[in-house]
């Protein structure tokens, strides 16, 4: 499975990239939604983990653009907000779901296994 990580927090992205790589996933990163739109097409990503908000772009808008170009790509928005409004906005934008940044690695890998099963 090819995974694209998009966000503007380098330490978080590098940590997540290393964690995923230890499990054999191919991972690339993008600094924002605009760069993610370019990289997802080059890398042919199966899944994108994207911050809902970055300094240079809105993850919700980037999700809409990515899903318009590559509808089969699964976009999972990352957030620290635990509110129903965020979930609703994520789904409206075309995301497959969203994950809280507070989740543990086991939960992340369970979710990825579910995505791989369809």
- Per-residue pLDDT tens digits of the chain, which is 118 residues long: 999 999 988 998 999 999 999 999 999 999 988 899 999 999 999 999 988 766 666 778 888 899 999 999 999 988 876 665 667 777 788 888 888 888 899 999 998 998 888 7
* Domains of the chain (ranges, CATH numbers): 2-117 (3.40.50.2300)
Token pair for 118: 């369809």
Confidence (pLDDT) at 11: 92
Confidence (pLDDT) at 93: 82
Q: What is the pTM of this model?
A: 0.87
Confidence (pLDDT) at 97: 83
Q: Which residues have a Cβ under 8 Å from the Cβ of 11 and sit 6 or more positions away?
A: none
Token pair for 114: 């579910």
Token pair for 16: 């997540």
């Amino acid at each position: 499975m090819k995974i694209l990580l998009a966000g503007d927090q380098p330490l978080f992205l590098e940590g997540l990239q290393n964690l995923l790589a230890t499990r054999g996933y191919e991972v690339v990163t993008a600094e924002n939604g605009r760069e993610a739109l370019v990289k997802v097409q080059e890398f042919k990503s199966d899944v994108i983990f994207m911050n809902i908000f970055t300094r240079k772009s809105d993850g919700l808008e980037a999700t809409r653009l990515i899903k318009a170009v590559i509808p089969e790509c699964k976009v999972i928005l990352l957030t620290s907000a635990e509110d129903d409004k965020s979930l609703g906005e994520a789904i409206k934008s075309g995301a497959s779901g969203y994950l809280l940044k507070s989740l543990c690695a086991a939960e992340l890998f369970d979710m990825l296994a579910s995505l791989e099963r369809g």
